[in-house]
Amino acid sequence: MVEHGERVLLLGPSGAGKSTLLAGLAGLLARSGAGEAEGTLRTDGSAGIVFQDPDAQLVLARAGDDVAFGLENTGVPAPEIWPRVDAALAAVGFRYGRDRSTAALSGGEKQRLAIAGTLALRPRILLLDEPTANLDPEGAALVRDTLRRVLAAGAMTCVMVEHRVADALELVDRVVVIAAGGGVVADGPPDRVFAARGAALAAAGVWVPGPPPQPPPRRAAPARAAVIEARDLAFAYPGAAAPALDGVGVTIKSGRTLALVGPNGSGKSTLALLLGGLLRPSRGAARDGRGADLARLRARDLVARVGSVFQDPEHQFVTGRVDDEVAIGPLRAGQCAADARRRAGELLERMGLSSLAAANPFTLSGGEKRRLSVATALAAAPPALILDEPTFGQDRRTFGELLALLAAFRDEGGALCVASHDALLVEALADERLALVAGRGAAR
């Protein structure tokens, strides 16, 4: 039971059902169809939810219209709608105003817009599924400050999922930990829960306050040769007022990790797609170590040279089974079926996904989808990996496993590039950083 006005942090390992529980609390789980349901849910008022994937929440082409959509559908008087829209956009630091195309937003900007749309409704129950995971540090701090002010009024109940607990603790007064497969394993005030169960929870994969997992000791890597080189890269999205990237140069070397950092909307994801050969630049080119223009390679040639992880993993799934998804890269790169299946099995075991081999990729949890996307990038053993937010949605244990896998890839001579707001990942792996601001970059 959650009492009116309580602020609850819901924790548990990846795949434990945290997002499903939030969907149930929001009344979004069907009583019929796929899956099984039991039990009774009663609430004392309307619920507003911010999903793990903001694309699942945005429905209209203009930012202001998207925030207004919920207000219009819940019968808010017309004179109140636009003042509430503007106030919600300002509260989350959305810098474009009402007229911005939602299609032109970065992942973090979409997350801010989704949060604004939910806050504008002023629900009695606020459900948040990793609300700051896609945000830059400044944006995450602004959203936390907004939530702090909203919750301080005491009129709203809040249930929040966050893997990284340190920043969320100031917003909550209760922690509930659920186990994979069901059941509550800890419940109470945060200081009491972590004092009594902290070590056991960490061993089970739950994020707890304290030092994060560390990468294994670095091994000597082969000579640092350029694996991908890009000069004067520029890219403009159709209809955009300014280019997403303009004049960026990058060299990604074997045995090294380059981190792409910068605020939401700075061009990190666009640059990652260009470096992976998945977008054709408006100007310049990204070339592999042989001088080939990556954007002009056939798919079967590209997969053997660069492995990519998109910001949204669902955008890269192409099969109906998890094991087929991992095997498809090696098969396209020319491996025999037996070797491709063996490689897929090894990666699924490392990623903690073996029990889900026959599942449809789209039915996995957010963290499981992310690990599957990393496995697909690694599967064909390319010389370079370009990864966009590879640790999103990971519990403590799976974060450590991903960190070890990526460190091993680099130490064996792989060229690694990560676009991320995850300070733990960047601090652990980055050899160089390229800071992007408004589509331009500077090494540091």
**Spatial contact of 313 and 370, defined as CB atoms under 8 Å apart:** yes
Torsion of CA 180, 185, 191, 195, to 10 degrees: -100
d(CA 366, CA 182): 18
Identify residue 398 by its one-letter amino acid code. Answer: T
Same-domain status, 244 and 371: yes
Domains held by the chain: number: 2
Q: What angle do CA 256, 422, 136 make, to 5 degrees?
A: 120
Same-domain status, 286 and 411: yes
- Of 166, 188, 203, which one is at a domain's C-terminal end? 203
Q: What angle do CA 173, 178, 184 make, to 5 degrees?
A: 85
**Spatial contact of 114 and 51, defined as CB atoms under 8 Å apart:** yes
User: How many C-beta atoms surround the C-beta of residue 172 within 10 A?
Assistant: 21
Does 375 fall in a domain? Answer: yes
The confidence score (pLDDT) of residue 30 equals 64
Of residues 300, 377, 302, 284, the one with CA closest to residue 333? 300
Of residues 306, 325, 323, the one with CA closest to residue 315? 325
Same-domain status, 159 and 46: yes
- Of 203, 236, 252, which one is at a domain's C-terminal end? 203
Same-domain status, 279 and 425: yes
The confidence score (pLDDT) of residue 35 equals 58
The confidence score (pLDDT) of residue 272 equals 95
Measure CA 325 to chain center.
19
Does 368 fall in a domain? Answer: yes
Same-domain status, 173 and 231: no
The confidence score (pLDDT) of residue 324 equals 95
**Spatial contact of 117 and 86, defined as CB atoms under 8 Å apart:** no
User: In the structure encoding, which two tokens stand for residue 105, read together?
Assistant: 């937003």
Strands 47-50, 184-188: pairing kind: unpaired
Same-domain status, 383 and 303: yes
Torsion of CA 230, 236, 241, 242, to 10 degrees: 0
d(CA 380, CA 376): 8
Of residues 244, 232, 235, the one with CA closest to residue 106? 244
For tokens 């939030």, the residue is 22
Same-domain status, 306 and 193: no
Q: Which domain holds residue 43?
A: 7-203
Does 209 fall in a domain? Answer: no
Supply the CATH number for residue 420's domain.
3.40.50.300
The confidence score (pLDDT) of residue 389 equals 92
Please report, in tens digits, the pLDDT of each residue of the chain (444 residues total): 888 889 999 998 888 888 888 888 888 876 545 556 666 667 666 889 988 788 888 889 899 999 999 999 989 999 999 999 999 998 888 888 899 888 888 777 888 899 899 989 988 899 999 888 878 888 888 888 888 888 887 778 999 998 878 888 989 999 999 987 778 989 999 999 999 998 898 888 888 888 888 888 888 766 788 999 999 999 988 877 788 899 999 999 999 999 999 988 889 999 999 999 999 999 999 999 899 999 999 988 898 899 999 988 888 899 999 999 999 989 988 889 999 999 999 999 999 899 999 999 999 988 899 999 999 999 988 999 999 999 988 888 899 999 999 999 999 999 999 999 998 899 999 999 999 988 777 655
**b/e 202-223 (16+ beta carbons within 10 angstroms → b):** bebbbbbeeebbebeeeeebee
Does 218 fall in a domain? Answer: no
